[in-house]
């Protein structure tokens, strides 16, 4: 009996240590996600150059209990996740037109009205596939008995969210798979165009024509390098986002077709892997973008002069900005 009690106490201690470690890790993820994305927002507000660069800010999730607030929390979760993916998709299309098309074509395609429609669609579409079906209960048609059974199960949390086959397929296709295909196609074309342009520059340099090129050629080459670098940064961010969220959306589609047999722990792991992406974004910005890195250092070091941009024309010289294919360049 004493040995059994010791084993039971040892198991309880292990479970307690595991829970404390898990709670500490998830709390750290949430804290770093909130603080990191706040740092990005402050950097964009304080740095004029960053306002013209493409950045994606993830929104924090609300942790609310009770049945009604569980539905609201879940709807917000679907809404914000889908909006993030659609914004990435629109950014990839913008970079495609900026790099793969001529400047005049880009200005004709990316008009203020079209940009406003794209941004509006990034919020309207997620609202249609989140709040409308979830609050109306369309996602639970045909599986209400199973949901009630899970709610009263001892191994389940209070907030139980399950989806039927039609909703799982529709939501996953609209929120993840279609935008993913568009992003992959856009960045594939960007990669091909950037490689072709790099070969042209190399041929001009070997032929000795680079030094004799006119200012328009230099401006076009500078624009291409700037746009390509921005596209590479966004491609890495998109890749991390898709890797973090792909397990969740794959599980979301598969689970209804295998009688909802995916373990609860696997669901939680896939979901939190997606949440961890919010923590990764500020880190990626700092490593991949010099402007963000400098802005972060200025904010964290209380505006120390060491990290400010030096002016090659002296402190009294004013600078103006111009836009080339959607990218802002400073003219001194």
Angle of the 290-300 helix axis to the 2-46 helix axis, nearest 10: 100
- Give the mean pLDDT of 290-295: 72
Angle of the 264-288 helix axis to the 215-254 helix axis, nearest 10: 170
- Give the mean pLDDT of 136-144: 91
Confidence of residue 257 (pLDDT cuts 50, 70, 90): very high
**Is 70 exceeded by the pLDDT of residue 2?**
no
Per-residue pLDDT of 163-174, as tens digits, reads 999 999 999 999
Give residue limits of the domains in the chain: 2-305
pLDDT of residue 80: 87
Alpha helices in the chain, H assignment, sequence order? 2-46, 48-51, 67-100, 103-109, 112-136, 144-151, 165-172, 178-206, 215-254, 264-288, 290-300
Return the percentage of the chain with pLDDT > 70, whole number: 68
Confidence of residue 255 (pLDDT cuts 50, 70, 90): very high
Least trusted range by pLDDT, from 25-39, 55-69, 98-112, 263-277: 55-69
Spatial separation of the C-alpha atoms in residues 283 and 296, rounded to whole Å:
10
**Is 80 exceeded by the pLDDT of residue 247?**
yes
Q: Which CATH number fits domain 2-305: 1.10.3720.10, 1.20.1070.10, 1.10.1660.10, 3.40.190.150?
A: 1.20.1070.10
Which residue carries 């969210």 as its tokens? 161
- Give the mean pLDDT of 127-156: 84
Per-residue pLDDT of 52-93, as tens digits, reads 544 433 333 333 335 677 888 889 889 988 998 898 888 888
Spatial separation of the C-alpha atoms in residues 37 and 21, rounded to whole Å:
24
Angle (CA) 249-59-262 rounded to 5° is 25
DSSP lists the bridge partners of residue 328 as: 323
Return the percentage of the chain with pLDDT > 90, whole number: 19
- Give the mean pLDDT of 271-296: 77
Spatial separation of the C-alpha atoms in residues 242 and 96, rounded to whole Å:
19
Distance between start and end Cα atoms, the chain: 83
């Amino acid at each position: 009996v004493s040995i059994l009690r010791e084993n039971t106490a040892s198991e309880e201690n292990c479970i307690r240590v595991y829970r404390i470690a898990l709670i500490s890790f998830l709390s750290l993820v949430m804290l770093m996600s909130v603080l990191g994305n706040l740092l990005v927002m402050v950097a964009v507000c304080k740095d004029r150059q960053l306002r013209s660069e493409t950045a994606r800010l993830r929104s924090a999730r609300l942790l609310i209990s009770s049945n009604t607030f569980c539905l609201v929390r879940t709807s917000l979760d679907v809404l914000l996740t889908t909006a993030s993916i659609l914004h990435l998709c629109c950014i990839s299309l913008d970079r495609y037109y900026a790099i793969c098309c001529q400047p005049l074509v880009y200005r004709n395609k990316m008009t203020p009205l079209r940009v406003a429609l794209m941004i509006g669609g990034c919020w309207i579409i997620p609202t249609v596939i989140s709040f409308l079906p979830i609050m109306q209960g369309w996602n639970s048609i045909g599986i209400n008995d199973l949901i009630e059974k899970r709610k009263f199960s001892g191994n389940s949390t209070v907030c139980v969210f399950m989806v039927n086959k039609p909703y799982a397929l529709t939501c996953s296709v609209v929120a993840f798979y279609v935008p993913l295909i568009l992003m992959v196609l856009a960045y594939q074309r960007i990669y091909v165009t950037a490689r072709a342009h790099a070969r042209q520059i190399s041929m001009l340099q070997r032929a000795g024509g680079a030094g004799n090129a006119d200012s328009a050629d230099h401006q076009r080459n500078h624009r291409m390098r700037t746009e390509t670098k921005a596209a590479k940064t966004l491609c890495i961010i998109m890749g991390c986002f898709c890797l973090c969220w792909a397990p969740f959306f794959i599980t979301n589609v598969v689970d209804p077709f295998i009688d909802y047999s995916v373990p609860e722990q696997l669901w939680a792991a896939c979901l939190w892997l997606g949440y961890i992406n919010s923590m990764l974004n500020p880190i990626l910005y700092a490593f991949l973008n010099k402007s963000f890195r400098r802005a972060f250092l200025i904010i964290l070091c209380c505006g120390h002069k060491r990290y400010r941009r030096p002016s090659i024309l002296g402190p009294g010289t004013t600078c103006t900005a111009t836009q080339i294919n959607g990218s802002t360049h400073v003219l001194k």
